[in-house]
Structure 1
């Protein structure tokens, strides 16, 4: 019997600042998106007939958050795969397969107990595929992802131009696609609904492998470990990615705010362009926080709590779902509405930041991270 040596997880002193800062800050965007989903019992979680400041909230959510926050975590997931692969050496494949299998189980539990819109299971599936098919490939192969993003960019631009040129005036509004689990009359009924919703949701989001792959490419070049050495690339990516993301989502954002009036077919077409161009928010926001990381240190008084949450992002993500179930479920507090969702999202994020900082001061990793690491790094024989 032979033993394969597995190194433990990285220590706090070994962690790069930019990834943790990015995860911690972007959990606020995830909170805003998911709280709104719960508050309106469906997607996209926006008031179809906004009034007053609700118009501004709808516009901001559509232009900056919806379909623009999750790609950040997809990139960071791919980045993390390479970091683990590099650290573990010969044991990397076994460690990653174990970790990603655990994420699938975590996702099933999360979806069953709390929220159908789980991404953990999809991350686990994509992580297994990347471990088996992508991580061992060379630089020449991984340059393919840049070509794929280039082709997708051309397609997105042409599609946006075509959609705008064929737009028709009308009086259609956004329609929230209902999620039965969010409006269930009891917790037991919500579990049954989520068990039916989660597999479909997971299947529809697996396409984000193209975003994860971009994170793999970035990690191979250690862009976020050494952001100061990649300022030019980060600056161009932040400007280009966020510009494409915002401009591509602008027509849909204007519709969601009630400032642009078109027919139903145009709403659907602009919704698709909005979702497609939202992928560019991933590299855009990651690059933006990478640049920010070059100007601060890990001990920065304002940044430290956000970084602490980023180091416990899995626990923070699950904590949010617990909060949404308690606050918005009809059988619980049953809260609803635009303003309530925004206030709840900000409050829950601030609470998680505060708790994460106290955990950091006490040297405690976080419950979800602790469990995942125990599963991932046990002795392999």
Structure 2
């Protein structure tokens, strides 16, 4: 979840001891996956980011990108977004807010997220998800939030049907690999704003790209709905009680994501030759299986968080600190890609013989910067700047203390 819905209330900070560790660790770690996927997309001006002729180590890195990062990061945040909506509503209910007040608060947050998403896309990066989060927040608040358990079981049926669809697509891909012949690349979509020769041209292109991109990402409501279902059962707050469910989800979710991404990863790395229809279906299978990485990765980090014996350890604190400031970390990344990777700025990845390796090193370095900044803010008990802005827009200015 790129939007912190659990960190603070209008009355002040929530102490670390009162927080579940798993959501924060998950967001902090998954921002690395987001950084790897988005930086590659920017460097290669495509969706997903792919070097059309990888060589040497670049082949192996491309393989890992498709298996672990591309279309595997945003489902985690979509899941956590739905989880966070329930957490925020529950906290507001506990504070004495009426259902009508809670709904108004969530609708206001969703509206401002949409506005911030538009600004993010126009100024920095076409692949914005904040606008889609805002629209989904409004839809989920109006249609899903106050429904009963029986209604929410519908989402489990939808996921089961999605798995059947993936099995069919997988069978088509396997048949194409065994019977077809050809040497077609993955049908990667070109992104004009990422290859523009000036900032003005990129801004104009992003204004045209953002609406279409937002519409294509709205179906992640199904992932967010599953997060809402899990939050109603406090799965991450009580990982020991839900350990069997978390184990099954981690194994099944990550297993489906890895298996479904394998054909596209092999094709992208240049290790598998297929015809055009098979390459196209392999990319669809890759994207569809990626949604299962959402609950799979979340469950994995839920299990890891349950085994943390020293929550005050520096690494744990740093990841959790970034997780609580995930919106700021996400926007920081977009600024970094604009400065470091675009053709009209430093274009660092294009300066090296192996651009895939170069861009991944840059992505890790940028993510580490956000970790260190978040830890410094956490030591001072201060939220991220983006979280502060969104909170003020949602709740209004804090009332002044009487002297």
Specify the SS of the correspondent of 1:229.
coil
Cα distance change, pair 34–379 in 1 and its aligned pair in 2 (3 A): closer
CA contact (8 A) 1:9 1:373 kept: no
Match of 1:329 among 339, 342, 355: 342
Per-residue deviation, 1:272? 0.5
1:8 and 1:211, CA in 2 relative to 1: closer, same or farther beyond 3 A?
farther
Deviation at 1:335, TM superposition (A): 2.4
1:319 matched to 2:332? The reply is: yes
- Residue 155 of structure 2 aligns to a residue whose secondary structure is helix
Runs of 4+ in structure 1 displaced over 6 angstroms? none
Q: Is the 8 Å Cα contact of residues 58 and 253 (structure 1) preserved in structure 2?
A: yes
Say yes or no: does 1:304 pair with 2:317.
Answer: yes
Matching residue of 1:41: 45
- 8 Å CA contact 1:83, 1:219 repeated in 2: yes
Structure 1 equivalent of residue 273 of structure 2: 261
Q: Which residue of 1 aligns with 2:111?
A: 101
The residue that corresponds to 1:293 in the other structure is 305
Describe the shift of the 1:244–1:10 C-alpha distance in structure 2 as closer, same or farther (beyond 3 A).
farther
Q: Secondary structure at the match of 1:228?
A: coil
What is the distance in 1 between the residues matched to 2:341 and 2:363? 12
Aligned to 1:3: none
What is the Cα deviation at residue 175 of structure 1? 4.6
Matches within 5 A, 1:199-278: 199-278=211-290
1:63 matched to 2:67? The reply is yes
Q: Is the 8 A contact 2:176 2:274 kept in 1?
A: no
Q: Distance in 2 between matches of 1:229 and 1:283?
A: 17
Secondary structure of the residue aligned to 1:174 is coil
The structural deviation recorded for 1:244 is 0.6
5+ long unaligned stretches in structure 2: 1-8, 350-354, 399-403
Contact 2:83 2:230 (C-alpha < 8 Å) held by counterparts = yes
Alpha-carbon distance, 1:179 to partner: 0.9
Offset, 1:158: 2.0
How far residue 365 of structure 1 moved from its aligned partner, in angstroms, is 0.4
Asked whether the equivalents of residues 8 and 377 of structure 1 are also in contact (C-alpha less than 8 Å), the reply is: no
Kept after mapping to 2: 8 A contact 1:7/1:87 = no
Residue correspondences, number: 375
Tell me whether 175-184 or 306-315 shows the greater mean CA deviation.
Answer: 175-184
Cα distance, 1:10 vs structure 2: 5.9
The answer for the alignment partner of 1:156 in structure 2 is: 166
Which residue pairs with 1:28 in the alignment?
A: 32
TM-score normalised over the length of structure 2: 0.91
Asked if 2 retains the 8 angstrom alpha-carbon contact of 1:49 and 1:173, the reply is: no
In structure 2, the partner of 1:174 is 186
C-alpha separation in 1, matches of 2:167 and 2:211? 32
Per-residue CA deviation, residues 76-123 of structure 1 (Å, 9 max, x unaligned), is 000000011111121210111111111001100100000000000000
Q: Helix, strand or coil: the match of 1:302?
A: helix
Report the 3-state secondary structure (helix = DSSP H, G, I; strand = E; otherwise coil) of the residue aligned with 2:240. helix
RMSD across aligned C-alpha pairs, in angstroms?
Answer: 1.4
The residue that corresponds to 1:11 in the other structure is 14
Q: Secondary structure at the match of 1:289?
A: helix
The answer to whether structure 1 residue 82 and structure 2 residue 86 are counterparts is yes
Query: CA offsets, 1:149-198, max 9 Å, x none?
Result: 11111121122112211331211123542211111111111111100000
Secondary structure of 2:109's partner?
helix
Q: CA deviation at 1:307?
A: 0.7
1:147 corresponds to: 157
Partner of 2:6: none
| 2:376 match: secondary structure | helix
**Offset at residue 7 of structure 1 (A):** 5.9
Q: Deviations over 1:15-52 (max 9, x none)?
A: 21100000000000000001001111112111122111
1:364 to 376, 382, 395: 382
